[in-house]
Each structure stands twice: as structure tokens, then as C-alpha cells.
A and B are shown apart, each in its own frame.
Chain A
Amino acid sequence: MNAPFEFVAASSYPARPAGPELRKVVPRTVRHLALSLPGTRNLLMGTLPITLALALASQAQAQVTAQRLLDSTKEPQNWLMYSGDYAGRRYSALEQIDTANAANLVPQWAYQTMAGGKFETTPLVVDGILYATGPDDRVFALDARSGRPIWQYQRALPADIRPCCGRVNRGLAILGDQVFLGTLDAHVIALDSKTGNVIWDVASVDYRGGYSYTLAPLVINNLVLLGISGGEYGIRGFIDAYDAATGERKWRFYTVAAPGEPGHETWEGDSWKIGGAPAWITGTFDPITNTTFWTTGNPSPSNRGEGRGGDNLYSNSLLALNPETGKLKWYFQFTKHDEHDYDATQVPVMIDRDGKHLIAQANRNGFFYVIDRATGKLVYSKPYAKVTWSTSKLPDGSPASSNAGSPTLNGTRVCPGAAGATNWMSPTYDPQTNLFYVTAREQCDIFSTAPQAYEKGHAYYGSAYFPNDETLPFWGALRAIDPADGKLKWEWKHPSPTWSGVLSTAGGLIFTGDAEGNFIALDAKSGKALWHFQCGASVYASPMSYAINGKQYVEIAAGSTIFTFALR
């Protein structure tokens, strides 16, 4: 494809903020003066070298204001939100650990939750304190320098929750002196960041309908945004915003169009009522256009298209919403009328390059998409892993699904498999190399229908899938993709498919994990491994980085343990 970026109308993107000025929010619960003046400090941070900034930061325990979240890249010692910044880049500007010294990384501390199941958290680090979650909705705050716990919180979950795919949680959001948690019984909870005390607790929906939260919320201005999970239960998906101070719900955007709403015509009969389209991965935010980007998962039932004829909006889509009202600005649907569980729930990464304002996503369906962030128009799509479900393109350049891939009673072999060419694990965009790095899974499955009637709160797949061709190996790779043209720059092969996300750092490094339990540092330019550590269990999390007193740490969750590393 020739210079795909030329399709982007640069003029459609405003130079100045379109939304109202962001208020400097001080939540109701703030009762004490901060130790330093955040505004002043932020000014300093913008101009000082990072090392000096780190030294300053060690003194300060300022409130996390909405402004600080907007300016998160100015305080790289902290990790203030799930993806590190509003752009969803999972990029750390810390550069102490670099390609020359990465071989000298050594463990600093480990924190053991003693929890079973997949450990998917990305911690936050704010001024020396690490906040993270674990399975079964436990939350803990640690001294990020020593790993010693400061407080712990454990949600008392009802016995009859049955979340799909593990009793997992991916992390928190923070504002003021509160951290925010979405729970497996579909509650939203604000905890005091100094004690773990519950400040407010609201039920977003009755969990018994199959609803749950697994994602890390996203704070924008004074609102806490979350998307619901439950695509395996015939839910009707939504994205919510809650007042950070009170827990009052400010808006809800249903991801399945109701009668009278645009898009409703894409659902057969009453199928919309149980249409799925959960939104279980944290969104991103563009303050210039005042737009928040969220992605949605499969229509329900996931692998059976009969009975829900049509494109099934807004399943498997990228949604551009006004964060203050929840109003839809535009949408882009990646997989229409999905029959293979190709959730689009991968972090929609904002890329600003050469005057272009884009969203890049390596989708679970095996295609890498670049989309104009102002208009929602596709710039191009290109496979980054083995794909058989689509053999042609639609007029807009999207992959068209091939009917030959529809599940049958005896099974149809389709690539990628149901777990996808990638999944929820975060990719990273490195503004130094201008490359997009993603964990790719090379695995096909046999998709077979398993018709069943919908029953509220019960698993509702309508299908089965399982690995086929046992003569074929399964494998994975970390792939470095140039978003300008979708071309592969390099790949690092994993012996088997992995669920680890990816972090890039200003030290020229990429960090990722593998299913064999290694946590690995690679040269961002070449893909050469520079260091690794055996964690003892498969990695199901995305790494992050922070600094205290001028010392950079890299973090990964694996098994039931949080590990941190720094230079010897």
C-alpha cells in the first residue's frame, strides 16, 4: 500500500482543544493540603532533566489531579493509569535502564498475593506507592521501593458469580486520594488511597445477569469510566461514567443499539436484547478533541451467527465518545457479524506522527488497523498473523468475512483461533522507534456450533472450539510493526502462544513476558534479547515502569507474584 497516511485529512483535526477547559478537580474527600503545590511542580517537571525531576518527586506526595493525569508524560517516575498515558502507548520515558546496561537488571523485591488463577494486573505507582489488584478483587498498596504492604482490601464476592475466563482483575484508576475498582459482581468501588477504606460502593447492574467488571477503570476529568464484561452470557453491553466524588452514574452508553437508535437495524428480531458487545478493556482519551476511545467485544452468542443476522452494531467496534455525555461521535466496526469470538478489546493506541492523528490497533481477528482519529475512517488494514476467516476486502479497505469460515456442527478450521491473533494484553507504541509492538499468537481452532437456549446468567456460547491439527505446532511472537505501512520490522519468536503485554521505554528497550515464565528485555530497534528472568509461571499481564529516588524499576505480575527489577 502506498503512503496510506495520505488518506488522512490533517485539516479535520483541530489544533486547539474542542472540549471545555478541564477543571482541576479536587474531590470532596480531599481534606488536607498536599505537601507541595502540584501546579508549580508540573511547571518545573516540564523543563528539568528527568533525573532531577525524579529527585524532586521523591519529596512530593501531591494529590493526583485531573491535570496531572493529562500531563502524565511529564512525570515518568509515576504510572498514573492502566496504559501509562491517555494515548494508551504503554511507553515509559524513563531511560536509566537502557540497551547498554539492561543485562545488569536484578530482582528488587517480590510481593506474593497467594492467589490462584491468572494474575493480569498492571499496577499504578504514585509518588512511591504502588497500587495493584489481584484475582477475586483483592487490592493492595505497597511501598514501591521495598514491596512492603501498606494496606489490603478484599471484596466479599457473592458465591454465585461465574465470570468468564477467570476471576481476574487488571487494575485500578486513581484521582485525588481515591483509587477506583470494578468488581466481578459488577460494582464500582472507590477506596481511600491511604487506607484502603471504602469511600463509596455502587452496583452498576445486577451481576446475576452475567455482568462483571475485570478491567482497570479510566478517569477523565472528574468521571470514572468503565466498560462491562459478560459477552459469554448474553448481556447487553455498556460503558458507564461515574462521578469520582460521589459514585453517582453520569451516563451510560449501550453498545447494542435499541429500537429507534441508529444501528438497531443490524440486529435480527429481538437478538439485540442479549446482543453482548461488552467493553472489557480500558479505553484511551484525546483531550484535544475531547474524545474517549473504547473498544467492544463479541456479539452474543459468540460463535453462532444464526438468529442474530446483520452486522450486530456496535459489537467488535471502536467507539469515539464524548467523555462528558457518553454521546457517540463515530464508530468503526472491525469484525461484522462475528462468529469466531474476535473481540476488538485491544487498547486503541493513539499515534501522532507527521501531522497525522491516528488510532492503531492490532485486532484479535489478525488484522492491523490504522484509523483516522478525527473521522473514524479506515486508513488501511493488513494482516499481522495467519488469517483464514477473510479472503477479500470491503470497499472501505476492511477485511470481509468469508462464509466458508462459519462454524458447523462438525467443525470448521479457522485462523486465528478463538483466543485470537492477539488478545487483551497491551501492545506498546514507542515514539522513539515509531514502531508498534504486539504479542501475536499463531494458532488455529476448529469452530463447532453447540446450539443452546439463552438462560439469564448462564454461559451462552452457542458454540465450541478446540485446537485442531495436532500435527501443527502452536507458537507466538512479539512483532514490531511500522504503523506507516503495516510492515513487519522484526519478530521475536515465543515457543508457545503467550498472554503477556508489552512495554517500551526511552532506554531503547521493549519488555515482555512469555508462557514459559520468562520476563524479557529486548532491543527495541533490533529485537535482540538483552536480559531475561524466569518468574516461575506463565505471564498473563502487561509490564510497567516507575522510579523512586532516581532509581528506575520495571514491574511484571506472574503466577501469584509481583516482581520488580532494577539495575544492580
Chain B
Amino acid sequence: MPPRTATRGFPSSAFSSLILLCVFSLPASAQDTNPYAGDAQVAKLGESQFRANCAFCHGLGARGGGRGPDLTRIQKHHGTADSDLFRTINEGIPGTAMPPNGTTPQGVGMTPEEIWQVITYIRSVEKKSTTSAGDPAHGKSLFYGRAACATCHMVNGKGGRLGPDLSSAGSARALDYLVQSVREPSQRLAGGISEAMKEFPQEYETVTVEAADGIKYQGVVLNEDHFTLQMLDTREQVHLFEKDQLRKLTKSRESLMPAYDQKMLSDRDLQDIIAFLTTADAMPGGAQ
């Protein structure tokens, strides 16, 4: 587990075990259901909390973006019940950019009361119906067939590896974000690996290298630091480079994904693919 998940779990030594009991667990939710459900005044308070603590990733209006999921969808990938939302906010989601309450660099910790306010706010902006008008069966055949999405994207274990796994994209991302990702994929690059204490996730940047032996590779950045590069090339091979050993290294924010215009994919076909993605979240609780 990344270290941040240990924030309130605790220390090894015996001398602190007593303290541990009374100090290091935030008071858990006293109840499993929201005591303020439907209270418009509380939702207003929750909106302020949301803006201060959550909008950084989930956007104004909780509609998500490239970073955080769209929370106006009724179905939540990590659990939809009040108690699930409370747990997600309070404890974070290990292995994702969702941090435990109070550990973001920009936000302050929220009290249980304030967490319920935020949940009340989220409930107030949830859309009654989020099902796409499209035909999921046709969308699936497009995804794995003519539209060739599966060349680079996986859904529920089937498909390519070069682009992000889309198993939960349909339930997590806003509709207009999904449309934009297909029509203008370079506009906002998808987020890749999110390290425990790192502020910003790695993005799906395009990289072209010429190795010491003169061989050229193009692909996506899996991760990098000042000295090393980890990439996946278009043939789905992982390459691990020391940057100073490379003859050439070029990074670009032009996505490797083609921009699907109307000729390549009609609006109706796009609706169908999104309908497929929306219904495809068959493995809730899995990695994002």
C-alpha cells in the first residue's frame, strides 16, 4: 500500500499503542446514513466544503474532469450508498489519486459533520438519469470492430494496452469529457500512474526515443523522472531507459490516439460506444 494509506493507521512501537487507540483514528461515522439527507441548507454548506477540498480534482459542480470522476453520476465506482461515500472521502481509495481526508496539500481535514455536508451537496447535484441514449450492443461491436478502440484500450480485460483501461471510464467520467476524449484526444491527456505522495499523476504523453543502438521507439510514457524513462511502445513492449544513454528523446502532448471526426465516427456511433462503456463497469472496486 502506498504510505499515505497509513496516515491514520499506526506506529510500530509499543510505547504508542495506548495513544493509538484514542488519537489516530478520525472518529468514524457515527451512522451509516446521511443525517442531513435532502437538506438544501446543508447542501449549500457542503458546496463550500466541496469547493475547498474536492473541486481541485472533481471540478466546480462536481462534474469531474480529467482528474477526478464525475460525481453527478448516480452510480459511483467505489460504492454508491451514503456509507460508501463517507468511507471514500474519509479514507481515500488506495492506489488512486483519491487521498484520505485531510491529506491533500491544498485542503484541510473535514469533520464527520462536514463530510456529511459534502455528501448532501453531491446528492443535490446528482442527475436523475445518466444512462446514455445509445445502443450498448452496437457500441461494443464498434469498440472491438470498426472503430478499433480495442487496438489500444482494454475493457474488462479485453483489448489493447497502449491507452488507458476504459472499464470504469463510463461510470467515472462526465459525458462531455468522454466525447471530447474521442473527438479531441490531445486536448486533455489522460492521467496515468499516480504515486502515493506525488502531487500530479503522470499523463499519457507521447514519447519518441532513439536508443543508443540507433533503434527508434514511439509510444506512451508510463512514468519518468529527471534521469529515467519508462515507456510502452506502439508494439506494447515496455522499455526502461536511462535518459543520458539515449541519442534522442522527444516528448509531445499530441496524443497517439487519432482524433475521431464525424467521418470516422458519427455522433450516433459515438453515443453507442459511450453507452457500451457506461454499462461495462462490471468489476466495481477494481483499479480505476
Contacts and interface: CB of A to CB of B under 8 A. Distances in A.
A232 B226 contact: no
Given A450-B47, A470-B66, 6 more contacts: A158-B23, A159-B26, A162-B111, A163-B109, A167-B7, A495-B225
B45 interface: yes
B51 A450 contact: yes
A474 interface: yes
Contacts of B238: none
Interface stretch (B135-143, B146-154, B195-203, B276-284): B195-203
B219 interface: no
A471 B4 contact: no
A156 B106 contact: no
Nearest to B68: A466
A470 B65 contact: yes
- The size class of the interface chain B forms with chain A is 35 or more
A115 B198 CA distance: 16
A156 B23 contact: yes
A141 interface: no
A515 interface: yes
A164 interface: yes
Contacts of A534: 225
Interface in A525-547: 529, 532, 534, 537-538, 540
Given A464-B55, A495-B224, A514-B225, A117 B106 contact: no
Contacts of A495: 224-226
A532 B227 contact: yes
User: Which 9 A-B residue pairings sit nearest by Cβ, starting from the closest?
Assistant: A464-B51, A516-B225, A116-B7, A450-B51, A116-B6, A452-B48, A538-B197, A162-B109, A459-B108
A517 interface: yes
Nearest to A165: B105
Interface stretch (B8-16, B73-81, B165-173): B8-16
Most chain B CB atoms below 10 A, which of A471, A514, A540 = A471
A117 B108 contact: no
A79 interface: no
B253 interface: yes
Nearest to B196: A537
A508 interface: no
Interface string B52-74: 11011101100001110000000
A537 B106 CA distance: 19
Interface in B65-108: 65-67, 102-103, 105-108
B163 to A, nearest CB: 17
Nearest to A494: B226
B188 A470 contact: yes
A532 B189 CA distance: 30
Interface in A449-491: 450-452, 458-459, 461, 463-467, 470-471, 473-474
A560 interface: yes
Given A116-B7, A156-B19, A466 B55 contact: yes
Given A154-B15, A538-B198, A116 B9 contact: yes
A496 B198 contact: yes
B214 interface: no
Interface string A129-170: 000000110100000000000001010111110111111000
A448 B55 contact: yes
B198 A516 contact: yes
B103 A166 contact: yes
Interface of B: 3-13, 15-16, 19, 22-24, 26-27, 45, 47-49, 51-53, 55-57, 59-60, 65-67, 102-103, 105-111, 114, 186-189, 195-200, 224-227, 253
Contacts of A405: none
B225 A448 contact: no
Given A450-B52, A517-B225, A464 B15 contact: no
A464 B200 CA distance: 18
B48 A450 contact: yes
A418 B109 contact: no
Given A159-B26, A162-B111, A537 B105 contact: no
Nearest to B102: A162
Given A114-B11, A165-B105, A538 B187 contact: no
Interface residues of A, number: 64
Most chain B CB atoms below 10 A, which of A458, A459, A464, A499 = A464
Contacts of A518: 225-227
A520 interface: yes
Contact of B106 (A411, A419, A451): A419
A222 B124 CA distance: 57
A308 interface: no
Contact of A116 (B5, B67, B187): B5
A117 B105 contact: no
A115 B11 CA distance: 7
Contacts of A283: none
Given A115-B11, A450-B51, A538 B199 contact: yes
Contacts of B59: 466
Given A532-B227, A537-B197, A538-B197, A136 B51 contact: no
A459 B189 contact: no
Nearest to B56: A466
Contacts of B53: 459
25 contacts: A138-B11, A154-B19, A163-B109, A165-B108, A232-B108, A411-B60, A464-B55, A464-B60, A465-B106, A466-B59, A467-B56, A471-B186, A473-B253, A494-B226, A496-B199, A497-B199, A497-B200, A515-B199, A516-B224, A517-B225, A518-B226, A518-B227, A537-B195, A540-B197, A559-B197
Given A116-B9, A154-B15, A464-B52, A496 B106 contact: no
